[in-house]
Amino acid sequence: MKTLIRNALVVLCCLFFSLSAAEPPADKGKGLDRQVEDLKQAVIELNRELFILEEELLFPGNTQVSVFLSMDIGKYFKLDSVQLQIDHKELANHLYTEREIKALQRGGVQRLYLGNLKAGEHELVAFFTGVGPKGRDYKRGATVSFSKGIGPKYLELKIVDGVAMQQPDFEVREWE
């Protein structure tokens, strides 16, 4: 992959130098700025395409599983960390900053994990650590068994305020 990126950058640099050498000297300053901007745009587009290609190669659609985290208002729970396990194997562990928590509370969704799983039955376990009602330390888990077939699988962990009991609820759902 690094060789492909390096080769693409070499080709772009060669193209840049050949274009700048062919430019008439009177318009060289103005034309050079335009060429530099065009080159920057080409590098950005190439980088985006390489990222997509890399993701497709590393995580093919038939084995891909993605786990996302979202949050309701967060009145009854202040998130500190999430630990994610699938089939008793720890896959992700994330500590949250104030900025990340605010983004989640505004409706943001974070991808906690992207990986490969073979088809069959699996179990996802997520542990949420933070501060619960009345400022007490709070650790809860959520578990879901799911079936991985052919094609990508998307799971969402959602922290929701349970207004009735004034406690946080932790939901896990599959996206179709």
Q: How does pLDDT run across 56-114, given as a tens digit for each residue?
A: 677 666 788 999 999 987 678 889 999 999 999 999 999 999 999 999 989 999 999 99
Task: State residue 151's pLDDT score.
Answer: 85
What percentage of the chain reaches a pLDDT higher than 70? Answer: 79
Task: State residue 149's pLDDT score.
Answer: 86
Task: State residue 127's pLDDT score.
Answer: 94
156 versus 52: which is more confidently predicted? 156
Q: Which two tokens stand for residue 116?
A: 């490969």
Task: State residue 31's pLDDT score.
Answer: 80
Computed over every residue of the chain, the mean pLDDT equals: 82
Q: Which two tokens stand for residue 92?
A: 């992700």
- Return the bridge partners of 95, or none: 81
For 151, what's the count of Cα atoms within 13 Å in the CB-facing half-sphere?
Answer: 5
Statement: residue 13 has pLDDT above 60:
no
Q: Which of 146-150, 152-156, 166-170 has the lowest mean pLDDT?
A: 166-170
* Average pLDDT estimate for 13-25: 53
Position 132 confidence tier, pLDDT thresholds 50, 70, 90: confident
Statement: residue 49 has pLDDT above 90:
no
Q: Where are the domains of the chain?
A: 2-58, 64-175
Residue among 84, 96, 65, 86 at smallest CA distance from 170? 84
Are the C-beta atoms of 67 and 85 separated by less than 8 Å? no
132 versus 127: which is more confidently predicted? 127
**Cα(96)–Cα(174) distance, rounded to whole angstroms?**
24
What percentage of the chain reaches a pLDDT higher than 90? Answer: 31
Cα dist from 85 to 17, 44, 74, 91, whole Å? 51, 35, 23, 5
Write the class of the CATH domain 64-175.
mainly beta
